[in-house]
């Protein structure tokens, strides 16, 4: 869900401030899953200048394209001067996948007595068109205006020649009000007609529901092509002022694709080098454009469950405060990549879990999953080390959409797979340590079957090699499987360290769920016996 940083008492609207410039100058950034809106500052100038270098962005803007640093400095200074006068609150649009400013947007024409304002001066870097960045930026601004500031009317306007922008604003849920003829003179001397739209206070709940649905159907920005440079974020400029204003989410088709990665490694002999080997492969995945990556089960150490030895309790650490998760949070923020990090967790002395921490692309700790089903067979003496999980089957909202985690032996139990699907997971990762003689046949069957039955993507990860603690032969073979049960590309090697990077087309989820309506046709009223002791 998109988060708004401030709300009134009880989460509702608060009165419109009597002095908007002073009150809004102190507003914290508005945070979404794709973008955050930061009050515009001179420090945003370098990123914004880079983002602005496309003539088409400025075709309908009330300013000329800034070609030099001093041009951008002047635009920012003008916006801040308007802020001092109380007529404008300017934001930089910062992309959370890169941490850089990619455009700008503003509140304009603040009228506290009449509790109305305008959203405008919106523009975005060309590579952010046809992503969900503008939709989320608009939703953040609208939610803050109606729910925090207490506005009763928000206006949006665009150049009468800009048909794409008009269509995009209408798709936001705004109502077209009319045209002001020869309303404004453009920098090229042309007099423009201005088309006005508005959203009223009592219309906002319906508009908000529509925007939330649109955002839920479209994940954060898909990865850049392999080898392409990431661009940075903050963006702002008037709604309808740019030629594709709003078009990046509503104006055209966007590939709903998540580039995802799996890492399989063999035990290096000591923890520091094991972590280094995994980090090296994670960086390789990031270079290929991966936006989410899962490591193998208990990734930072050996699979010590081949023996029953209390000395391995020393490998435990708290989650998220432990050193491994803290290091991976820094790595996630650096790479702009969601990470699933399986570790040996200590809740308190003597209470240990087989756990996977989930870290968002900005380094935020999303939460953790604790393995529910604990085996106790030769070579897998896990009950000696782990308590059964007690946190349910959480689905984590991340920069690539909702994801779930199921750990190794869990995969033999269909109930958890289904719980993750019911909670909205689009990708479920199953980090494992599984041995060739015991389960290699099942490895090729179970995850594809789970993907089909629950209509989502599954990432299956296994370590590789024979380790000194036993004769388990971990056979790698990590792979992604789609909701039709088909592998997405070839599986990884059965012997070597490898990073698997694949594009997962989320449109396939919608296609499959329309054909095979398993969630519609399930009968929970008839399943009582399944949960009987």
CA-CA distances (angstroms) from residue 55 to 59, 123, 130, 238? 7, 12, 17, 16
Closest by Cα among 204, 84, 93 to 150: 204
C-alpha 234: how far from its chain's center? 17
Of 317, 397, 408, 467, which one is the catalytic site residue? 408
Of 249, 368, 371, 397, which one is the catalytic site residue? 371
Q: Report the SS3 class of residue 101.
A: strand
Distance CA(412)–CA(376), nearest Å, equals 14
Of 147, 248, 297, 397, which one is the catalytic site residue? 297
Active site residue 297: yes
Q: Report the SS3 class of residue 425.
A: coil
Closest by Cα among 498, 503, 461 to 281: 498
- What are the residues facing 345 on neighbouring strands? 317, 353
Distance CA(142)–CA(135), nearest Å, equals 10
Q: Which two tokens stand for residue 428?
A: 């479920």
Distance CA(434)–CA(353), nearest Å, equals 18
Q: Element (H or E) spanning 454, and its range?
A: helix 446-454
Closest by Cα among 103, 85, 86 to 94: 103
Active site residue 294: no
The CA-based angle 354-373-460, given to 5 degrees, is 70
Distance CA(101)–CA(236), nearest Å, equals 9
- What are the residues facing 104 on neighbouring strands? 92, 123
- Mind telling me the catalytic residues? 297, 371, 408
């Amino acid at each position: 869900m998109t988060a708004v940083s401030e709300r009134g008492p009880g989460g509702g609207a608060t009165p419109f401030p009597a002095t908007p410039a002073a009150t809004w100058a102190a507003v914290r950034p508005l945070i979404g899953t794709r973008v955050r809106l930061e009050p515009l500052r001179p420090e945003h100038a370098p990123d914004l200048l880079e983002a602005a270098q496309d003539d088409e962005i400025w075709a309908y803007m009330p300013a000329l394209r800034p070609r030099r640093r001093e041009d951008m400095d002047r635009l920012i200074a003008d916006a801040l001067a308007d802020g001092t006068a109380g007529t404008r609150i300017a934001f930089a649009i910062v992309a959370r996948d890169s941490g850089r400013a990619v455009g700008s947007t503003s509140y304009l024409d603040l009228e506290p007595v009449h509790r109305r304002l305008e959203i405008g001066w919106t523009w975005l870097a060309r590579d952010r068109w046809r992503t969900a960045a503008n939709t989320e930026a608009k939703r953040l601004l609208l939610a803050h205006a109606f729910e925090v500031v207490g506005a009763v009317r928000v206006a949006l306007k665009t150049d009468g020649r800009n048909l794409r922008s008009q269509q995009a604003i209408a798709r936001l849920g705004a109502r077209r009000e009319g045209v002001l003829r020869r309303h404004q003179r453009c920098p090229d001397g042309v007099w423009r007609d201005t088309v006005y739209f508005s959203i009223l206070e009592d219309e906002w709940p319906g508009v908000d529901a529509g925007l939330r649905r649109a955002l839920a159907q479209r994940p954060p920005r898909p990865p850049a092509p392999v080898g392409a440079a990431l661009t940075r974020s903050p963006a702002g400029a008037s709604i309808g002022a740019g030629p594709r204003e709003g078009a990046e989410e509503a104006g055209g088709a966007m590939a709903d694709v998540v580039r995802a990665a799996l890492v399989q490694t063999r035990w290096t002999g000591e923890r520091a080098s094991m972590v280094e080997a995994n980090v090296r492969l994670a960086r390789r995945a990031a270079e290929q454009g991966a936006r989410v990556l899962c490591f193998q089960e208990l990734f930072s150490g050996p699979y010590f469950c081949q023996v029953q030895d209390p000395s391995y309790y020393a490998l435990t650490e708290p989650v998220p405060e432990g050193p491994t998760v803290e290091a991976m949070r820094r790595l996630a923020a650096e790479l702009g990549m969601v990470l699933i990090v399986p570790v040996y967790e200590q809740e308190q002395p003597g209470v240990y879990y087989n756990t996977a921490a989930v870290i968002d692309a900005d380094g935020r700790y999303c939460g953790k999953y604790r393995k529910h089903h604990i085996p106790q067979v030769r070579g897998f003496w896990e009950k000696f080390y782990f308590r059964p999980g007690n946190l349910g089957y959480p689905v984590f909202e991340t920069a690539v959409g909702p994801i779930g985690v199921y750990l190794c032996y869990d995969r033999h139990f269909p109930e958890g797979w289904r719980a993750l699907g019911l909670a909205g997971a689009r990708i479920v990762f199953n980090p494992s340590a599984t041995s060739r003689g015991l389960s290699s046949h099942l490895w090729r069957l179970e995850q594809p079957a789970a993907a089909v039955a629950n209509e989502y993507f599954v990432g299956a990860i296994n370590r590789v090699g024979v380790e000194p603690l036993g004769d388990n032969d971990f056979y790698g073979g990590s792979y992604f499987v789609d909701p039709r049960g088909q592998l997405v590309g070839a599986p990884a090697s059965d012997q070597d360290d490898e990073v698997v990077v694949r594009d997962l087309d989320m449109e396939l989820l919608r296609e499959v769920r329309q054909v095979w309506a398993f969630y519609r046709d399930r009968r929970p009223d008839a399943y009582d016996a399944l949960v009987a002791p």
